[in-house]
Structure 1
Amino acid sequence: MERPRILHMFTPGQQMSPFDINMAADAGYDMVPIYSEVTLDRVAGLTQDAIFSRGPRGVSRTGIFIGGRDVLLAADMVDKAVAAMVPPFVVSVFADPSGSYTTAAAMVACVEAGLRTLGKTLAGLKVVVIGGTGTVGRIAGVIAAQQGARVCLSTHFGESMARQAAAETGARFGVTLEGSSGGDRHAVQRSLAEADVLLATAAAGIQVVLPEDLTVARRLLVAADVNAVPPAGIAGIGMMDKLSLLPGTQALAIGPLAIGNVKYQTQHRLLKRMCESDKPVTYSFPDAFEVAREVLAEEAATP
């Protein structure tokens, strides 16, 4: 009898996201045990407990998922888990804290597809991320920067926090990010006046870009919003928008459900590939970005 497929789910928080638990089960895992309040110094011990009990054949049917709400901590936890493995006792690892890695990957891939219709890429463009110190905002900024964009993380918490988040996130992932204040309407409009691409990743149910703010966004090519709770994070963006014209601008609009569909497919594919792989794999946001691109390419090729 084949051994069950087990996905050990680690989170620094008090509970694992039900969304991720459902996704793991739907991807084919038979068991999804959850470990809450996992600190960085506990990762190595938990990882070794998970690998040494199953033997070289069992490890191919064993995985580790890392959740939580801290994108930097999640990256460190992946490194700790991988470093704790002793060949041939090596298992697969996938990090997606608060769904931020797959959501950010889907968001930037959708923007990239929109730019392609205009004959452009992210390289050299100014990307402004409103809500940029949050989980999705930081990683979306990193992915865009890796594609050659000039990225500015904006937050209502002020310029000091924005710069701190940009510095620590950029240093952790090897990119250059800027930080700016989004604490008042003048600050938001200053950022928008320079933006070629606008990403809204602020808290749900808060409109961070008002109609009057968009009047200064004369350079704007694409605007994307992940806020699925009314009102829209960016005024005028509809839930289902998929490269529609953003009212009051010449920019293309991408709404939260368009991004969410790509995010869901991306996470499902990565979990399923990990579940079915005969060899250990390690997935993070660069892998999610490649899969999101794959999803969009397939959609574009479908008549």
Structure 2
Amino acid sequence: MERPYILHMFTPGAQMSPFDINMAADAGYQILAPCCGVTLQAVAGLTQDTIFSRSPKGLARTGIFIGGRDALLASDMLARAQQALVPPFVVSMMADPSGAYTTAAAMVACVEAALLDTTGVGLAGRRVVVLGGTGPVGRIAGVIAAQAGARVGLSSRNGIDVADAAARETGARFGVTLDGVSGGDRAAVRASIAEADVVLACAAAGVQVVSGEDLACAQVLRVVADVNAVPPAGVAGVGVMDNARPLEGVPGRGAVGIGALTIGNVKYQTQQQLLRRMHGATEPQVLSFTEAFEVARAHLAASA
């Protein structure tokens, strides 16, 4: 009898995300085993329980998924799980806390594609401001953009001290340079976007972080992306279905907007492809936001 496909799902939270459970089932995993309240210290033991309960051949049908809500903790948990492997007892594993890795990857890939389409130049050298930059999607979107060559500022509505701390912590963790930007009031937001080529709106759902009056201050803006699908729009004038649609009220050479559902479709395709890659792998896979960005880029290129 063939062994079933099992995905062990570790989360520090009280429950595993139903979204991730559904996605894993659709990717072909037959048994989904959520393990909740998992600490960083517990990851090694759980990983070794996973690998030593099957033969190396059986482990080809076994995977580990790491969720939660903390983008940095998930990365640390993924590294700890890797360190716990004892070849030839190895499994494929993937991290995507609250969908932050795949959402951030999809968001930045959509922005890069829009820049290339409208200007012929991607993210290298661009000034990118991430509003809501201290949250999980904002931090990872900032890291991906920085890895692609952008100059990235993480903005916080709680002021420059919080933004600076998040930028230092995140940049040190992933080996990139990020700076903090204050988003504590309207004047601070307007100052931060005045010289931005790209604005990534990653704030909480239902919160408008950029008004039409704010956009009038964006002198060199080329692309705005907004992950908020709950009214009001996170950025005034950006519709949830917009896909590089011209954005009114912005001075300069013509900015375009990318909405939440356009980003969400790429995120969905990216997460599904990564889970299927684990499911069908003949060699163990370790999948994080770097691989998610590669997949999102490839998906957009194939869809062009």
Q: TM-score range by the shorter chain?
A: over 0.9
Question: What TM-score do the two structures reach when normalised by structure 2?
Answer: 0.98
Question: Gaps spanning 5+ residues in structure 2: where?
Answer: none
SS of 1:56's equivalent? coil
What amino acid maps onto 1:207 in structure 2?
Q
Q: Deviations over 1:42-67 (max 9, x none)?
A: 00000000000111111111000000
Task: Indicate which of 254, 260, 285 corresponds to 1:256.
Answer: 260
Identity %, equivalent residues: 68
Structure 1: distance between partners of 2:281 and 2:124: 34
Aligned length: 300
* Corresponding residue of 2:23: 23
* Corresponding residue of 2:49: 49
Give, in angstroms, the shift of residue 279 of structure 1.
1.3
Structure 2: distance between partners of 1:119 and 1:47: 45
Structure 2: distance between partners of 1:5 and 1:121: 40
Give, in angstroms, the shift of residue 259 of structure 1.
0.3
Structure 2: distance between partners of 1:205 and 1:17: 21
Structure 1: distance between partners of 2:31 and 2:222: 45
What amino acid maps onto 1:299 in structure 2?
S
Structure 1: distance between partners of 2:240 and 2:124: 27
Task: Indicate which of 283, 287, 291 corresponds to 1:287.
Answer: 291
* Corresponding residue of 2:94: 94
Structure 2: distance between partners of 1:2 and 1:246: 54
What amino acid maps onto 2:121 in structure 1?
K
* Corresponding residue of 1:246: 247
Question: What TM-score do the two structures reach when normalised by structure 1?
Answer: 0.98
Alignment of 1:53-68 (within 5 A): 53-68=53-68
Question: Gaps spanning 5+ residues in structure 1: where?
Answer: none
SS of 2:179's equivalent? strand
Give, in angstroms, the shift of residue 120 of structure 1.
1.3
Task: Indicate which of 261, 272, 294 corresponds to 1:268.
Answer: 272
Q: Deviations over 1:205-252 (max 9, x none)?
A: 000001100011010000000000000000000010001011112201
What amino acid maps onto 1:281 in structure 2?
Q
* Corresponding residue of 1:37: 37
Matched, 1:163 2:167: no
Q: Provide the aligned C-alpha RMSD in A.
A: 0.5
Alignment of 1:67-146 (within 5 A): 67-117=67-117, 118-146=119-147
SS of 1:152's equivalent? strand
Q: Deviations over 1:249-296 (max 9, x none)?
A: 220110001100000000000001100112110000000000000110
Matched, 1:4 2:8: no
Moved segments of 4+, more than 3 Å: none
Q: Deviations over 1:13-40 (max 9, x none)?
A: 1111100000000000000100001000
Structure 1: distance between partners of 2:241 and 2:129: 22
